[in-house]
């Protein structure tokens, strides 16, 4: 319980401190270049994410980083075990990226501001029209060369077993033409959801080889959601065996 109190206290204090950092970002954005501003935002977001994981007592083991294409936008497709998944991927993947996040995160002051700065979009799954608008926005972001992350399960599984991927969840990739990079997250739910409080845990993140949907067979393209889900399930299976 003490670690939980410490973590949430640190989270809110960091939020207040981020006002100063945000002011610096705005100055770089206004008087510098967009590239420098984006690089600064990426650096700051990774520093924030690592600090959140450190205070939580997370030990993160990552494999497959060399599978990430360095010079093009990609769609990271990951399973979703817990609330720490976003900071985990921000911290461990050194590539600027936004997230397709739940609409509730847009209501958190300052955090939502920083999420927008790094290219996140917020989806209300109960509003079909808004969801379609968000997907269109994400497609344009990918076409403009900025990577995105999506959790096709739509919600946290809060356990090791992965939920079924939503139909149409890969539309970002099919419409933008970018490669899909599968990501398997194992153990992140143990940091919070398993016991209802912050608890030190080991988390494995495994990054698979890129998938270009246009290069799949016609049958695989027809079942592309199931195909990608199977790739991530294999990553998680391999992690268990390691």
**Domain ranges (residues) in the chain:** 57-241
Predicted pLDDT at 41: 96
Count of C-beta atoms within a 10 Å radius of residue 22: 16
Q: 242 pLDDT exceeds 80?
A: no
Q: 97 pLDDT exceeds 90?
A: yes
Q: 216 pLDDT exceeds 90?
A: no
Q: 167 pLDDT exceeds 80?
A: yes
Q: 220 pLDDT exceeds 90?
A: no
Q: What is the dihedral of CA 14, 89, 133, 109, to 10 degrees?
A: -10
Q: What percent of the chain has pLDDT over 70?
A: 99
CB 114, CB 94: distance < 8 Å: no
Q: 214 pLDDT exceeds 90?
A: no
Confidence band, pLDDT 50/70/90 cuts, at residue 211: very high
Q: What is the DSSP string of the chain?
A: -HHHHHHHHHHHHHHHHHHHHHHHHHHHHHHS-HHHHHHHHHHHHHHHHHHHHHHHT-EEEEE-GGGS-TTS--EEEE---STTHHHHHHHH--S-EEEEEEGGGGGSTTHHHHHHHTT-EEE-TT-HHHHHHHHHHHHHHHHTT-EEEE-TTSS---SSSPPPPPTTTTHHHHHH-PPEEEEEEESGGGGTTTTTS----EEEEEE---B-GGGS-HHHHHTHHHHHHHHHHHHHHHHHH-
Mean pLDDT over the full length of the chain: 94
Lookup: tokens for 156: 């946290």
Predicted pLDDT at 1: 87
Predicted pLDDT at 44: 96
Fold exhibited by the domain 57-241: Glycerol-3-phosphate (1)-acyltransferase (3.40.1130)
**Which has more pLDDT, 237 or 188?**
188
Confidence band, pLDDT 50/70/90 cuts, at residue 168: confident
8-53, pLDDT tens digit by residue?
999 999 999 999 999 999 999 999 899 999 999 999 999 999 999 9
Q: 240 pLDDT exceeds 80?
A: no
44-85, pLDDT tens digit by residue?
999 999 999 999 999 999 999 999 999 999 999 999 999 999
């Amino acid at each position: 319980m003490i670690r939980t109190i410490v973590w949430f206290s640190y989270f809110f204090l960091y939020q207040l401190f981020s006002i100063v950092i945000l002011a610096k970002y705005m100055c770089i954005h206004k008087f510098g270049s967009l590239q420098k501003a984006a690089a600064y935002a990426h650096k700051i977001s990774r520093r924030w994410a690592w600090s959140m994981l450190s205070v939580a007592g997370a030990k993160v083991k990552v494999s497959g980083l060399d599978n990430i294409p360095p010079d093009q936008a990609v769609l990271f497709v990951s399973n979703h075990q817990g609330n720490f998944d976003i900071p985990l991927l921000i911290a461990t993947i050194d590539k600027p990226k936004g997230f397709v996040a739940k609409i509730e995160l847009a209501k958190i002051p300052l955090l939502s501001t920083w999420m927008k700065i790094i290219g996140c979009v917020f989806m209300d799954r109960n509003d079909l029209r808004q969801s379609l608008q968000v997907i269109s926005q994400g497609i344009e972001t990918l076409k403009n060369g900025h990577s995105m992350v999506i959790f096709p399960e739509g919600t946290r599984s809060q356990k090791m077993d992965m939920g079924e991927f939503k139909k149409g969840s890969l539309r970002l990739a099919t419409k933008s033409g970018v490669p899909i990079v599968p990501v398997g997250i194992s153990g992140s739910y143990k940091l919070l959801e398993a016991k209802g409080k912050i608890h030190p845990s080991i988390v494995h993140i495994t990054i698979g080889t890129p998938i270009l949907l246009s290069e799949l067979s016609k049958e695989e393209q027809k079942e592309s959601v199931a195909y990608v889900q199977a790739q991530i399930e294999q990553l998680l299976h391999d992690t268990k065996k390691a």
